[in-house]
Amino acid sequence: METKRFHIDPQQIDREQIKEAANILREGGLVAFPTETVYGLGGDAMNPNASNAIYAAKGRPSDNPLIVHICEYCQLEEIASELPDAAKKLADAFWPGPMTMIVKKNEKIPLETTGGLNTVAVRFPNHPIANALIRESGCMIAAPSANTSGRPSPTSADHVWNDLNGKIEGLIDGGEVKIGLESTIVDLTEDVPMILRPGYINKEMLEEVVGPVKVDPAVLGTENVHIKPKAPGMRYKHYAPKGNLKIVTGEEKNVIAEIDRRSREDEAAGIKVGIIATEETKHAYRHGTVLCVGERKNEDQIAHNLFAVLREMDDLGMENIYSEDFSTPRIGQAIMNRLLKAAAHQVIEVS
């Protein structure tokens, strides 16, 4: 099929193009669109065929549920079978925004959309194009990240185009996304809210609104590799570049020395080496191809650039990739969660 590429300025929404894209969704077709987190691949959440088409286009296992995107709080009430008090509180605090809530679903949402689960993930995104599209379509839009399953999530329309051109009906190019990491997922179906996927909205921010919050142990560091995560999607290999990515942690000067030593050896063996470094450290490496993910002191920048850098490593055909560690204070957990998965939890500790 031919993928129609729309170009829409988020500051000045072109109604005609939104209408055309919304029509595609109403007719059961798929349209990728920007949100503030990453690009999503949208289909009518009430249409099981559209959900099946999303799995097919992404090559995503059909037991990995989709997030339903809405443009008003009352749409959450429409599809939930019960809502705890925390739902309203969190929505008031963080919607529209990069937070997804898992609640018990009613019969309106088909099981195809929820990967067979009796719960549903719901988010009200904060992006003028996403909001206009949802509103105009009159649908709730099921939308996972608009990448081929297993690849880094798309933070620009070109990323989506590279993965899905010819497999979906439409793509709205609305420029680069802002945050660059997927939403925080909070499960509200048990007594205490639990973070199933860390994101820009962190544990402390959630706790200020609803009191104690747990974190699914499976999303934390390397020692928990064998625990089964509660969000099905967190079980799959993810975000992975084609090269063999390893994270090197420890004191900065030792990390640099270790990466430099390994890069020298790899290069001598004829292996193409990529290094993920920061503004502060990028000049310290004497071997390999260094890609800068941003300033270490600016964690928003690192979050924003991480997936693009992983994709660039693929484009450059890097075979071995070494990354510094980014355990930054506020969203470091979210950044490291993605990076650890991309590295299949291969971590080299230097003292």
Q: Closest distance between ligand AMP and the C-beta of residue 82, in Å?
A: 14
Binding mask 6-45 for ligand AMP (x = CB under 6 A): ----------------------------------------
Taking residues 131 to 160 in sequence order and writing x for each that binds ligand AMP by CB under 6 A, - otherwise, the string is -------------xx---------------
Quote the crossing angle between the two packed helices 203-210 and 85-94, to the nearest 10°: 120
**What b-and-e string marks burial along 156-189, b requiring 16 or more CB atoms within 10 Å of the CB?**
bbebbbbbbeebbbbbbbbeebbbbbbbbbbbbb
The residue sitting closest to Mg ion, measured at its beta carbon, is: 145
Q: Which position among 35, 114, 281, 323 is part of the footprint of ligand AMP (CB under 6 A)?
A: 114
User: How many chain residues bind ligand AMP (CB under 6 A)?
Assistant: 20
Shortest gap between Cβ of 121 and ligand AMP (angstroms)? Answer: 3
Within 10 angstroms of residue 280's Cβ, the number of other Cβ atoms is 14
274 near ligand AMP (CB under 6 A): no
CB of 13 to Mg ion, least distance (A): 26
Query: Should residue 137 be labelled a site residue for Mg ion when binding is judged by CB under 5 A?
Result: no
Reading the block at residue 49, the tokens are 């065929």
Alpha-carbon gap, residue 304 to 308, rounded angstroms: 8
CB of 153 to Mg ion, least distance (A): 5
Structure tokens belonging to residue 194:
């639990």
Query: Shortest approach of ligand AMP to residue 249 CB, angstroms?
Result: 25
Q: Which residues contact 200 (CB under 8 A, 6 or more apart)?
A: 37, 98, 179, 181, 183, 184, 303, 331, 334
**Residue with nearest beta carbon to ligand AMP:** 233
> Which range touches Mg ion (CB under 5 A), out of 75-83, 116-124, 137-145, 317-325?
137-145
61 vs 138, which CB is nearer to ligand AMP? 61
Give the dihedral of Cα atoms 302, 157, 247, 339; nearest 10 deg.
80
Please report which helix (H) or strand (E) contains residue 56, including its range: helix 48-58
Smallest separation (angstroms) from ligand AMP to the CB of 153: 7
Q: How many angstroms separate the CA atoms of 245 and 247, rounded? A: 7
Query: By C-beta, is 148 or 301 nearer to Mg ion?
Result: 148
CA dihedral 75, 79, 82, 83 (to 10 degrees): -30
Query: Of ligand AMP, Mg ion, none, which one sits near residue 234, judging by CB under 5 to 8 A according to partner kind?
Result: ligand AMP
Q: Supply the minimum distance, in Å, between the C-beta of residue 228 and Mg ion.
A: 18
For Mg ion, the binding residue among 145, 278, 281, 333 (CB under 5 A) is 145
Q: Smallest distance from the beta carbon of 328 to Mg ion, in angstroms?
A: 22
d(CA 342, CA 129): 29
Q: How distant, in Å, are the alpha carbons of 201, 224, 263, 289 from that of 283?
A: 32, 34, 14, 11
Give Cα separations from 327 to 48, 162, 298 (angstroms): 40, 30, 12
Q: Which residues on neighbouring strands pair with residue 99, listed in sequence order? A: 184
* SS3 assignment, position 141: strand
Residue of 10, 28, 175, 232 that binds ligand AMP (CB under 6 A) = 232
Instruction: Kindly tell me which residue out of 32, 45, 213, 231 binds ligand AMP, with binding defined by CB under 6 A.
Output: 231
Residue 64 in the binding site for ligand AMP (CB under 6 A): yes
- The footprint of Mg ion (CB under 5 A) covers 145
Residues that bind ligand AMP (CB under 6 A): 64-65, 67, 102, 114, 117, 119-121, 144-145, 182, 185, 196-197, 230-234
